[in-house]
Amino acid sequence: MSVALAEVFAPDGLLARHIPGYRLRPQQLDMAERIAAAIAANAVLVAEAGTGTGKTFAYLVPAIRSGGKVIVSTGTKNLQDQLFAKDIPIVRQALGAPVRVALLKGRANYVCHYHLERALADGRFFSRADAADARRIVRFAKVSKTGDKSECVDVPEHSPVWGAVTSTRDNCLGQDCPHHKECFVLSARREAMEADLVVVNHHLFFADVMLRDEGVAELLPACNTVIFDEAHQLPETAGLFFGDNISTAQVLDLARDVRIEALASARDCLDLPILCDAAEKAARDLRLKLPVDPARFTRAQLNAREGFDNQLAGLIGSVETLTALLETQAERSEGLANCWRRSGELADALHRWQQDEDTDVVCWGETYTLSLQLNSTPLVIAGIMQKQMEGHPRAWIFTSATLAVQRDFSHYCGEMGLTDTETAAWESPFDYARQALLYAPPGLPEPNSHGYAEAVVRAAFPVVQASGGRAFFLCTSLRAMRRTRELLEEFLARAKLNLPLLMQGEGSKNELLERFRRLGNAILVGSQSFWEGVDVRGEALSLVVIDKLPFAPPDDPVLAARIERMKAAGRNAFMEYQLPHAVINVKQGAGRLIRDEKDRGVLMICDPRMLTKHYGKRVWRSLPPMRRTRDPEEARAFFASD
């Protein structure tokens, strides 16, 4: 007879024997029991668990004990790696469960023998550093069992060489590849097919859903239970994958690959490099029609820009011309045949975006530093999601620290198409009344007023002085982030305070966090990347400053189209959509502050709308039960007792 869950989670139970410092959390046990019941009944459960509940073990224990096949999907690769390398081995050992576990990532995370060989033969590395990285990857590929680039610690994750030595769904040769038998991607998929528990991320999960829709063989195995951790990210991820997108970077990648394949198999076709140059130039010129800074545009805004539609037509024409020539060379090698297929698909995708008139889809563009991506995004994913959940009976578990607005899950369930769904919420076990203070500074102007960033830093700086740094400034835009950093630099210089000042973009997220922890008195200014998925325990982080309530900009093309659609249906888009999204984002940002029972800190929300607007109550009532103040002295005094 198997041990009851209560005994597994007991103070002297199976987990306690394997986890130093383990203690029973009633919320964790209750959550585990609800998840076990949902798995047994092939039911759908939406579960919010406050920070410190221990939701990872609360779903892993019943999942491993269920005896069925389980997929756990996470929002980030970092959490994916942590689950696979740390959390699952602990639970497996504690339960004495001989389950097979597999880690599966997108193909861009695995070295591709074919593209590594081609890149070396081509020799097109732009610097000595790149050439050295390539040699290190060659050595790694020879000894690695997985080919997972995260294990190649000698080569930075952002090295440009990775793009040349990994494959995409576009340029993978599949069974025609000469290295098919030793393929790291196929090896990882085989392990996933044979495993009892497979750890993926949301992007890979939905990529597989779309592949199945296109009639391609299943990437992920059929399973009995799907568990989504960090499930608050799903609506955006699902919208991305249920839509369509095409990027000028794909054209540049195609041109690069055609040149490499032509060198190997069609040196005598002198027009190929010429047409590659033309396609590359057309792609770069299209990007140059738009401002340098990254931004989002509706299709109407793009078409209204002088010369954009002509340049897009020119890009389509150049890709079609390249496709026609590739067709004449396709029989010369599998690589050229693959490039011909890709080129045709790119031309078709560009045509579709240009001509799509579906009222359920919004067509828009997003610029990055060197590329333009053209997107077609469905305005409603509920029906598509319902379709994916039909068929084979299985349990679906959606969990996160932030899914509800004042314990109301209707916004999330409505967006995801989850009808007649069980929901549950557990408060954090932390003593927020003792550990944290919510400070709303008085006298700040409206957030859209001139000089608002200056007012925020002026109000926050005395608290920063009292905390001795140890602060996150979470900004709602990159512009505000950069301005906040400039102002903090000025204030620190004026006060002759030597506190380290870090900003998002000055290194990888992990590097910045490691420096922040190590310094112990730093100030880190960040935007969207640092609102969630960041865990800094202990005294290094004692103050979190949020500049504004994180409402998505109303001119965002997808949001604007959704608002228009809801208004046309007689619905209140602000209360039903914009506000719940903002509340969930505020909860994520606030969740950075208190990470364990010993943490203490001040959460400073500067936006006066939290107190002056009728909807503000829904914001602060959704936050953990901290003491609240508007008194600057009380906020500073909090650190005197630190």
DSSP for 513-553 reads HHHHHHHSS-EEEE-GGGSSS----STT--EEEE-S--PPP
HSE at residue 542, side-chain half, CA atoms within 13 A, is 23
CATH of domain 5-105+187-241+380-426: 3.40.50.300
Per-residue confidence (pLDDT) for residue 578, from 0 to 100: 94
* Higher pLDDT among residues 120 and 196, named by residue: 196
Per-residue confidence (pLDDT) for residue 211, from 0 to 100: 67
Cβ contact 590:596 at 8 Å: no
Per-residue confidence (pLDDT) for residue 294, from 0 to 100: 85
CATH of domain 253-378: 1.10.275
User: Which helix (H) or strand (E) segment is 70 a member of?
Assistant: strand 70-74
Per-residue confidence (pLDDT) for residue 76, from 0 to 100: 84
Q: Is it the case that residue 641 has pLDDT exceeding 80?
A: no
Per-residue confidence (pLDDT) for residue 561, from 0 to 100: 93
Q: 254: closest CA among 228, 231, 232, 283?
A: 283
**Are 253-378 and 432-640 the same fold in CATH?**
no
Q: Cα–Cα distance between 233 and 120 in angstroms, integer?
A: 38
Alpha helices by DSSP H, 13-76:
26-40, 55-65
Per-residue confidence (pLDDT) for residue 374, from 0 to 100: 97
* Higher pLDDT among residues 293 and 228, named by residue: 228
Per-residue confidence (pLDDT) for residue 213, from 0 to 100: 55
Q: Cα–Cα distance between 58 and 12 in angstroms, integer?
A: 17
Task: Write the pLDDT tens digit of every residue in 403-417.
Answer: 999 889 999 999 999
C-alpha dihedral, 94 to 100 to 105 to 111, nearest 10°:
120
Residue 221 pLDDT grade (very low, low, confident, very high; cuts 50, 70, 90): low
Per-residue confidence (pLDDT) for residue 290, from 0 to 100: 95
Structure-block tokens of residue 425: 């919420």
Residue 214 pLDDT grade (very low, low, confident, very high; cuts 50, 70, 90): low
Q: 97: closest CA among 72, 71, 67, 59?
A: 67
Task: Write the pLDDT tens digit of every residue in 416-428.
Answer: 999 889 999 999 9
Q: Cα–Cα distance between 255 and 275 in angstroms, integer?
A: 9
| Biggest alpha carbon–alpha carbon distance for the chain | 78
Per-residue confidence (pLDDT) for residue 434, from 0 to 100: 94
Average pLDDT, the chain: 92
Cβ contact 524:516 at 8 Å: yes
Cα–Cα–Cα angle for 353, 356, 358, nearest 5°?
140
Q: Cα–Cα distance between 535 and 426 in angstroms, integer?
A: 20
Q: Cα–Cα distance between 276 and 343 in angstroms, integer?
A: 11
Per-residue confidence (pLDDT) for residue 219, from 0 to 100: 60
Give 325's contacts (C-beta < 8 A, 6+ positions apart): 269, 271, 272, 275
Per-residue confidence (pLDDT) for residue 170, from 0 to 100: 80
Q: Using the structure block, give the residue that is written with the tokens 């031309």.
A: 347
Per-residue confidence (pLDDT) for residue 1, from 0 to 100: 36
Average pLDDT over residues 28-43: 96
Mean pLDDT is lowest, of 73-87, 218-232, 256-270, for: 218-232
Average pLDDT over residues 527-548: 92
* Higher pLDDT among residues 264 and 492, named by residue: 492
Q: Using the structure block, give the residue that is written with the tokens 């960041």.
A: 534
> Structural domain boundaries of the chain?
5-105+187-241+380-426, 111-166, 253-378, 432-640
Q: Is it the case that residue 216 has pLDDT exceeding 70?
A: no
Q: Kind of pairing, strands 225-228 and 395-400?
A: parallel
- For the four alpha carbons of 118, 124, 130 and 132, in that order, the dihedral sign comes to positive
Average pLDDT over residues 509-534: 92
Task: Write the pLDDT tens digit of every residue in 147-195.
Answer: 999 899 888 887 889 988 998 888 888 888 899 999 999 999 889 889 9
Per-residue confidence (pLDDT) for residue 642, from 0 to 100: 57
Q: Is it the case that residue 570 has pLDDT exceeding 90?
A: yes
The class of domain 432-640 in CATH terms is: alpha beta
Average pLDDT over residues 445-462: 96
Cβ contact 149:155 at 8 Å: yes
Per-residue confidence (pLDDT) for residue 215, from 0 to 100: 47
Phi, psi of 508 (to 5 degrees): -70, 160
HSE at residue 411, side-chain half, CA atoms within 13 A, is 21
Q: Is it the case that residue 126 has pLDDT exceeding 70?
A: no
Cα–Cα–Cα angle for 396, 422, 569, nearest 5°?
95
Per-residue confidence (pLDDT) for residue 91, from 0 to 100: 95
Q: Counting every residue, how long is the chain?
A: 642
